[in-house]
Chains A and B, each alone.
Chain A
Amino acid sequence: MSKKEEERRRGAFTRRAVLLATGQVGLFGFLGWRLHRLQVQEGDRYATLAEENRISARLIAPPRGRVMDRTGHVVAANRLNWRALLVAEQTQDVNATLETFSRIVPLAEHERTRIEREVRRRRRFVPAVVREFLTWDEMARIEMNAPDLPGISIDVGTTRLYPEAEHLAHIVGYVAPPAESDIDGDPLLELPGIRVGRAGIERHHDRLLRGRAGAVQLEVNAVGRVIRELDRREGVPGQDVQISIDTGLQKAVRERIEEGTSVVVMDVRNGEVLAMASQPSFDPNLFNSGVSNAQWRAWTANRATPLINKATNGLYAPGSTFKMVVASAALEAKVCTPGERVTCPGYYDLGDTRFHCWSRYGHGGVDMRSALKLSCDVYFYEMAKRTGMDRMAAMANRYGLGVELDIELPGSRRGFVPTRAWRMAQGKAWNLGDTVVHGIGQGFYQLTPLSLCTMVSRVASGRAVQPHLTRAVGGRPIRGVRPEDWPSMGLPDRDLRLMREGMWAVVNEEGGTARIARLPAGLGQMAGKTGTTQVRRVSREQRERGFRVETMPREWRPHALFVGFAPHDNPQYAVSVVVEHGTSGSAAAAPLARDVMAETLTRMRGGSGPGQRVADAVPGGPVPTPRRDGG
Chain B
Amino acid sequence: MAFERRLLMRERGTGVLEKLWLIPWTFVMLLSAVAAVGYVALYSAGGGSAEPYASKHLLRFGFGLVMMLSLALVDIRVIARFAWVGWLGGVALLVLVALHGNVGKGAQRWIDIGPIQLQPSELMKIMLVLGLAAWFHRASWERVGNLLFLIPPVLMVLIPVGLILKQPNLGTGLITALVGGGMFFAAGVRWWKFAVVAGIAGVIAPIAYDRLHDYQRARITTFLDPESDPLGAGYNIIQSKIALGSGGVWGKGFLQGTQGHLNFLPEKQTDFIFTMIAEEFGFAGAISVLALLALVVVFGFLVALRCRNQFGRLLAIGLATNFFLYVFVNVAMVTGSIPVGGVPLPLISHGGSAMLTVMLGFGLLMSVHVHRDVEFGGSRD
Contact = CB atoms under 8 A, between A and B. Distances in A.
Contacts of B261: 123, 187
A137 interface: no
Nearest to B231: A231
A32 B331 CA distance: 10
Contacts of B246: 43, 46-48, 54-55
A39 B244 contact: yes
Interface stretch (A23-31, A159-167, A604-612): A23-31
B55 interface: no
B335 interface: yes
B84 interface: no
Contact of A215 (B245, B262, B283, B305): B262
A57 B264 contact: yes
A36 B283 contact: yes
Contacts of B169: none
Interface string B233-245: 0000000011011
Given A1-B378, A123-B255, A27 B335 contact: no
A187 B263 CA distance: 10
A9 B253 contact: no
A56 interface: yes
A108 interface: no
B264 A217 contact: yes
B56 interface: no
Given A9-B141, A12-B141, A31-B290, A42 B245 contact: yes
Interface in A34-58: 34-36, 38-40, 42-43, 45-48, 54-58
Contacts of B171: none
A215 to B, nearest CB: 4
A497 interface: no
Contacts of A42: 245
Nearest to A8: B141
Interface string B246-290: 111100110110110111100000000000001000110011001
A45 B245 contact: yes
Contacts of A120: none
Contact of B305 (A2, A14, A25): A14
B141 A35 contact: no
B27 interface: no
Contacts of B43: none
Contacts of B321: 20, 24
B228 interface: no
B240 to A, nearest CB: 9
B301 A35 contact: no
Contacts of A38: 241, 244-245, 335-336
A34 B240 CA distance: 13
Contacts of B380: 1
B34 interface: no
B188 interface: yes
A613 to B, nearest CB: 53
A5 B241 CA distance: 51
Contacts of B186: 13, 16-17, 20
B14 interface: no
A540 interface: no
B256 A35 contact: no
B378 A40 contact: no
B341 interface: no
Contact of B283 (A20, A28, A35, A55): A35
Q: How large is the interface on B (under 10, 10 to 19, 20 to 34, 35 or more residues)?
A: 35 or more
Given A21-B298, A38-B335, A6 B378 contact: yes
B138 to A, nearest CB: 8
A185 interface: yes
B335 A31 contact: yes
B140 interface: yes
Contacts of B187: 13
A140 B253 CA distance: 36
Nearest to B332: A31
Given A40-B249, A57-B262, A215-B264, A21 B301 contact: yes
Contacts of B244: 35, 38-39, 46
Contacts of B287: 32, 35-36
A59 interface: yes
A181 to B, nearest CB: 15
B294 interface: yes
B71 interface: no
B368 to A, nearest CB: 13
A39 B290 contact: no
Give the interface centre of B241, B245, B298 by most chain A CB atoms within 10 Å: B245
Give the interface centre of A45, A55, A58 by most chain B CB atoms within 10 Å: A55
A25 B140 contact: no
A124 interface: yes
A282 interface: no
Contacts of B93: none
A494 to B, nearest CB: 56
Contacts of A32: 287, 290
Interface in B8-23: none
Given A12-B141, A16-B185, A28 B290 contact: yes
B48 to A, nearest CB: 8
A39 B378 contact: no
Contact of A17 (B47, B245, B304, B327): B304
Contacts of A59: 262
B328 A28 contact: yes
A20 B182 contact: yes
Contact of A46 (B245, B294, B297, B304): B245
B317 interface: yes
Contacts of A16: 185-186, 188
Contact of B188 (A12, A54, A58): A12
B188 to A, nearest CB: 5
Contacts of B379: 1-2
B283 A40 contact: yes
Interface of A: 1-2, 5-6, 8-10, 12-14, 16-18, 20-21, 24-25, 27-28, 30-32, 34-36, 38-40, 42-43, 45-48, 54-59, 123-125, 185, 187, 215, 217, 231, 233
15 contacts: A1-B378, A5-B142, A10-B310, A13-B310, A13-B313, A16-B185, A16-B188, A20-B182, A24-B321, A25-B294, A28-B297, A39-B283, A40-B248, A43-B247, A57-B262
Given A32-B290, A35-B287, A46-B245, 20 more contacts: A1-B138, A9-B140, A9-B310, A13-B186, A13-B313, A17-B186, A17-B304, A18-B305, A21-B301, A25-B297, A28-B293, A28-B328, A31-B332, A34-B335, A39-B286, A48-B246, A57-B259, A57-B264, A123-B255, A217-B264
8 closest cross-chain pairs (CB), A and B: A46-B245, A39-B283, A57-B258, A48-B248, A1-B378, A57-B262, A1-B379, A215-B262
